[in-house]
Amino acid sequence: MENPPFDQRIARVLVRPLVKTPVTPNQVTIFTLLVAWAGAALLALGDPVAANWGAGIFVLARFMDHFDGELARQSGRTSKLGYYLDYVSGALSYGALFLGLGIGFQDSALGGWSWVLGIAGCASALISMFLNLGIDKAQDLQDGAATGYPGFAGFELEDGIYLLAPIAWVGWLMPFFAAAGTGAAIYTLWSLAVLIRTRRANHEAKP
Q: Is a pLDDT exceeding 60 seen at residue 28?
A: yes
Report the pLDDT averaged over residues 9-26: 94
Note the pLDDT of residue 11.
92
Model confidence pLDDT, tens digit, residues 120-160: 999 999 999 999 999 988 887 544 445 555 555 455 657 77
Q: Is residue 1 part of a domain?
A: no
Q: Which SS3 state, helix, strand or coil, does residue 44 take?
A: coil
Q: Strand ranges (DSSP E) for the chain?
A: 151-152, 155-156
* Cα separation, 157 vs 187, whole angstroms: 9
Q: Which of 1-10, 31-40, 66-75, 76-85 has the highest mean pLDDT?
A: 31-40
Domain containing residue 137: CATH number: 1.20.120.1760
DSSP 3: S
- Report the percent of the chain where pLDDT is more than 90: 69
Q: Is a pLDDT exceeding 70 seen at residue 164?
A: yes
The residues with which 152 forms a beta bridge, in sequence order, are: 155
Q: Which of 122, 139, 111 is closest to 202 using CA atoms?
A: 139
Instruction: Find the distance separating the first CA and the last CA of the chain, reported in whole Å.
Output: 31
Q: Is residue 188 part of a domain?
A: yes
* Cα separation, 177 vs 113, whole angstroms: 11
Q: Are 88 and 30 in contact (CB under 8 A)?
A: no
Note the pLDDT of residue 153.
47
Q: What is the pTM (predicted TM-score) of this model?
A: 0.88
* Cα separation, 174 vs 180, whole angstroms: 10
* Cα separation, 119 vs 98, whole angstroms: 7
Model confidence pLDDT, tens digit, residues 67-101: 999 999 999 999 999 999 999 999 999 999 999 99
CB atoms within 10 A of CB 76: 7
Q: What is the mean pLDDT of the chain?
A: 89
Model confidence pLDDT, tens digit, residues 52-65: 999 999 999 999 99
Residue 151 phi/psi, 5-degree rounding, is -150, 165
Note the pLDDT of residue 6.
83
* 49: exposed, middle or buried (Cβ count in 10 Å: 0-12, 13-18, 19+): exposed
Q: Which residue has the higher pLDDT, 205 or 137?
A: 137
> Which structural domain range is residue 189 located in?
6-205
Which helix H or strand E contains 66, and what residues bound it?
helix 48-75
Domain count, the chain: 1
